[in-house]
Amino acid sequence: MRRLALPALFLFVLVIAPRAQQSSAPAWSANLSDIRRVATLIPGRKPLRINVLKFAESHRTKNFSVKGEPATPSVQARTVFQVVYPDGYVMVDAGMDEPMHKQIGRGAEGEPYFAEQAQQVDNALRGARSIVFTHEHGDHITGVIRTPYLAELVPKTVLTRAQVNTLETRPQFPDLKITEEQAARYHIIDYDKYMAFAPGWTLIKAAGHTPGSQMMFITLDSGREYLLIGDAAWHMDGVRKVAGKDAPWIVEDTAAVTDQLRWLNGLLTTEKNLVIVASHDDDEHKELIAKKLLGGRLE
């Protein structure tokens, strides 16, 4: 028996395993050690804190955000994030005006738009050193496409080539379409897998929810780590259960998103110092603000 077992094992490794590996090649992958190393490439003081602000809500039952969940009421927060450095701050996402809020709501009744908070978003964008985006959907990017402060915001708006491609060729809504000439006025970046963006900050390419989606790994001066995952999941239950969205109006690269959810789910158990933040998870934001892991207002 023993004599047979060993060659049989080799045979498996040589013949079966490479095939299995090939067929299960991930649609997306990332490595946290590499991401951490990239976050050290740019010298300088790391950020002190991260703030979140909700400027609108979408009310859609939980089953749309997390496949298999019951159709119970659920609030999706429309948000921006502010990463505060000792000498300035960077905005993550730029919000949207009320017409886009209504368009994205697709006629849903009574989805609130908080005009005062939206005004705070505009003010914060104007005061920011730069503005960078989790992805190119209207609720995240309209604030730098259709805004009275366009001329002021465009030169410090950092878009990836993939985000620009979507906006030029197949934007989520016709209102978001920009021409090549308009695109050229923005600060366009491109990178392969990871990019050092600022001290303590790595951009992670994460096409899936949209072609231009990226996650943001941010280490604070305190050592606390954050991963802003944008819309990879609309609710953290999607990460906890490795369950994607079930929203017919969204076209995603499902294989890539599933790989992202699997990776994030693994991090939940192994990385106790890492705070994973989903852009629209109102329940999570409330909890993180209460624990002082996120600031609840812009500064």
Instruction: Quote the least distance from Cβ 57 to Zn ion, whole Å.
Output: 12
Over the window 89 to 128, marking each residue x when it contacts Zn ion by CB under 5 A and - when it does not, the resulting string is ----------------------------------------
Which of the ranges 36-44, 167-175, 227-235, 282-290 carries the binding residues for Zn ion, by CB under 5 A?
227-235
Instruction: Quote the least distance from Cβ 24 to Zn ion, whole Å.
Output: 30
Task: Check binding of 69 to Zn ion (CB under 5 A).
Answer: no
Q: Is the CB of 49 or the CB of 209 nearer to Zn ion? A: 209
Over the window 123 to 162, marking each residue x when it contacts Zn ion by CB under 5 A and - when it does not, the resulting string is --------------x-x-----------------------
Instruction: Quote the least distance from Cβ 234 to Zn ion, whole Å.
Output: 7
Which of the ranges 41-49, 64-72, 225-233, 268-276 carries the binding residues for Zn ion, by CB under 5 A?
225-233
Q: Which helix (H) or strand (E) holds 188?
A: strand 187-189
The side-by-side arrangement of strands in the sheet containing 88-92 is: 49-59, 75-85, 88-92, 130-132, 157-160, 187-189
Q: Which of 140, 164, 120 is nearest to 279 (CA)?
A: 140
Cα separation of 245 and 32, whole Å?
24
Q: Is the CB of 76 or the CB of 147 nearer to Zn ion? A: 76
Q: Is the CB of 57 or the CB of 139 nearer to Zn ion? A: 139
Cα separation of 26 and 259, whole Å?
7
Instruction: Quote the least distance from Cβ 10 to Zn ion, whole Å.
Output: 50
- HSE-up (13 A, CA, CB side) for residue 19: 5
Q: Is 80 helix (H, G, I), strand (E, B) or coil?
A: strand
Instruction: Quote the least distance from Cβ 142 to Zn ion, whole Å.
Output: 11
Q: How many residues at the interface with Zn ion, by CB under 5 A?
A: 3
- HSE-up (13 A, CA, CB side) for residue 58: 24
Task: Check binding of 231 to Zn ion (CB under 5 A).
Answer: yes
Which of the ranges 46-54, 197-205, 213-221, 224-232 carries the binding residues for Zn ion, by CB under 5 A?
224-232
- HSE-up (13 A, CA, CB side) for residue 14: 6
Q: Is the CB of 135 or the CB of 156 nearer to Zn ion? A: 135
* Residue 297 tokens, joined: 């207002």
Instruction: Quote the least distance from Cβ 137 to Zn ion, whole Å.
Output: 5
Is the CB of residue 198 less than 8 Å from the CB of residue 40? Answer: no
How far is CA 83 from its chain centroid?
14
Q: Is the CB of 97 or the CB of 231 nearer to Zn ion? A: 231
Instruction: Quote the least distance from Cβ 9 to Zn ion, whole Å.
Output: 48
In terms of Cβ atoms closer than 10 Å to its own Cβ (0-12, 13-18, 19+), residue 42 is middle
Chain residues binding Zn ion by CB under 5 A are: 137, 139, 231
